[in-house]
Amino acid sequence: MAREILTVAQMTAADRAAVADGTPIQVLMERAGEAVANAVRARYGRQPVVIWCGPGDNGGDGYVAARHLKRRGWPVVVEAAYSPTTEAARWAASRWKGEVRPLSSRPAPGHLYIDALFGAGLSRPLEAEVAELARTARAAALRIVAVDTPSGVHGDTGRAFGDVAFHAEMTVTFHRRKLAHVLSEGRGACGEVVVADIGLGPVGAADLFENDPELWLGRFPWPAFDAHKHSRGRLKVVSGEAWTTGAARLAARGGLRLGAGAVTVLSPPGALAVNAAHLEAVMLAPFESDADLAIAAEDADAVIIGPAAGVGEATARNLQALARTGAALIVDADALTSFRHDLEALFACLDRDDVLTPHPGEFERVFPGLLAKSPERITAAREAARRAGAVVLLKGPDTVVAAPDGRASVLLNGTPWLATAGSGDVLAGFIGGLIAQGMESFEAACAGAWIHAACGARHGPGLIAEDLPGLAPSVLTELHAKR
């Protein structure tokens, strides 16, 4: 089952539904606090711990965790920044029989802290002594486990509400990850994220998912026993001019590795010789004009255009010609930038099978101002997909894939080793290779991004884009075994 990522409001609704179904909030809080205690015991050896408790149910979880840790023999001190204000938090505090001190302004480095100050109910920037403590904690790099979210971090964006928030080495959240746990801003503050089951029911109409094999492996286009190369999909990649051909070949090789049966680089005449000198299993065919390109792409299942294609009129016309074929389009890099002065012309080329793969700079050219005015990149990518009428993959450490129908995913296995020239060309190739084999475009974009990241992580230091296609077989072998 694909795991949903929830907004704070969706989590509150899940919580209310459980309470309405007869599970008292105290029972949920007991499970949550015990889960925190268990996660702490699983990660750390027994040691003194200070638990900072806030006024709401996040603080309530802290009192419960205190009781469970103490029962296991941990020396526990609770520091309460506020008295409990909710019924459940008062209940939890009343069952804590140990010491409660006021919040100390002088935490001890090396000590373990549990931040149960604010979670889902944070409604404004941290104030007064709590803000001061957050600053001290950051400066002293305190070892902190956060309950639900690090206090000060907005659950729906991952950003600090004001100018300061706690940073944890582990965050224990409940039921499902929230946006703050998956977006890069929040991930830095959360540290390792542990998702604890507290017995809430299935999520209803969620449309945001962790990009994980669970989301797409069931529909991965493995070859049928009677497969032949033409039944495994035909992918074509448009090459740039003679001195910018490598990107198209990287994409082509990526598509071939992910299983497209027949992959062809379509090359301007001046680049044929250099392409021919560097291609083996990938085929090569010439095109001289946009009309020619459309004919060359006529039998393609998917076409990639953009990697080092050249920014300008010619690339724009080439994309418009390709749009008249039946092939799904993967539109990357220069093909996106070529339309920066006529975005409507780009959108007119696209339909829901097509995939745009911008990095944030290209995204800004195609959707000016959208990232800046959106609360976070998921909302921006969704709106972009709606405007474009196509799948949009917004690159980053937290790559987002959004479909025009509202589905979206966030990549959790991103790796900084992928930040290297040509890596995006291989990604376009991976996605194109999967779409050519008939995988639905949103799922192909999710799968391509996940496999790309898995390849990058597998290689680690020293990775160059040329390595990525060769790393795909070991990732695919593991996926094949799990299917």
Ligand X SMILES: NC(=O)C1=CN([C@@H]2O[C@H](COP(=O)(O)OP(=O)(O)OC[C@H]3O[C@@H](n4cnc5c(N)ncnc54)[C@H](OP(=O)(O)O)[C@@H]3O)[C@@H](O)[C@H]2O)[C@@H](O)CC1
Per the annotation, where are the binding residues? 57-61, 115, 119-125, 148, 151, 247, 359, 395-399, 424-425
Least separation in angstroms between CB 27 and K ion: 20
Q: Which is nearer to ligand X, 188 or 199 (CB)?
A: 199
- Binder of residue 105, out of K ion, ligand X, none (CB less than 5 to 8 A by kind): none
Q: Which stretch binds K ion (CB under 5 A): 11-19, 147-155, 293-301, 441-449?
A: 147-155
C-beta separation of 368 from 360 below 8 A: no
Which residue in the set 4, 15, 156, 334 belongs to the binding site for ligand X (CB under 6 A)?
A: 15
122 makes contact with ligand X (CB under 6 A): yes
What gap in Å lies between CA 414 and CA 395, rounded to an integer? 10
Task: Name residues contacting ligand X, limited to 192-231 (CB under 6 A).
Answer: 198
User: Which residues are 178's β-sheet partners?
Assistant: 6
Which residue in the set 53, 59, 265, 452 belongs to the binding site for ligand X (CB under 6 A)?
A: 59
Q: Which stretch binds K ion (CB under 5 A): 108-116, 210-218, 250-258, 440-448?
A: 108-116
Q: Which stretch binds ligand X (CB under 6 A): 9-17, 292-300, 347-355, 452-460?
A: 9-17
Backbone phi, psi, residue 85, to 5°: -115, -20
151 makes contact with K ion (CB under 5 A): yes
Which residue in the set 86, 104, 244, 374 belongs to the binding site for ligand X (CB under 6 A)?
A: 86
Least separation in angstroms between CB 146 and K ion: 5
C-alpha dihedral (98, 99, 105, 107), degrees to nearest 10: -50
C-beta separation of 428 from 451 below 8 A: no
Which burial class, exposed, middle or buried, applies to 9 when counting CB atoms under 10 A from its CB (0-12, 13-18, 19+)?
exposed
C-beta separation of 275 from 266 below 8 A: no
330 makes contact with ligand X (CB under 6 A): no
58 makes contact with ligand X (CB under 6 A): yes
Alpha helices in 110-268 (DSSP H): 128-139, 179-182, 184-190, 213-216, 246-257
Task: Name residues contacting ligand X, limited to 159-198 (CB under 6 A).
Answer: 174, 198
Q: Which residue is nearest to K ion (CB)?
A: 151
Q: Which is nearer to ligand X, 204 or 460 (CB)?
A: 204
- Binder of residue 121, out of K ion, ligand X, none (CB less than 5 to 8 A by kind): ligand X
User: Which residues are 145's β-sheet partners?
Assistant: 114, 170
CA-based radius of gyration for the chain? 26
What gap in Å lies between CA 46 and CA 77, rounded to an integer? 14
Least separation in angstroms between CB 186 and K ion: 12
Q: Do you know the residue count of the chain?
A: 483
The beta strands (E) that lie in 345-396 are given as 355-356, 391-394
- Binder of residue 115, out of ligand X, K ion, none (CB less than 5 to 8 A by kind): K ion
Q: Which is nearer to ligand X, 127 or 298 (CB)?
A: 127
Site string for K ion, 109-128 (x = CB under 5 A): ------x---x---------
Distances (CA, A) of 361 to 86, 246, 346, 448, 449: 46, 22, 17, 21, 18
What gap in Å lies between CA 52 and CA 62, rounded to an integer? 7
Give the pair of three-digit tokens for residue 189.
Answer: 């503050």
147 makes contact with K ion (CB under 5 A): yes
User: What residues make contact with K ion under the rule CB under 5 A?
Assistant: 115, 119, 146-147, 151
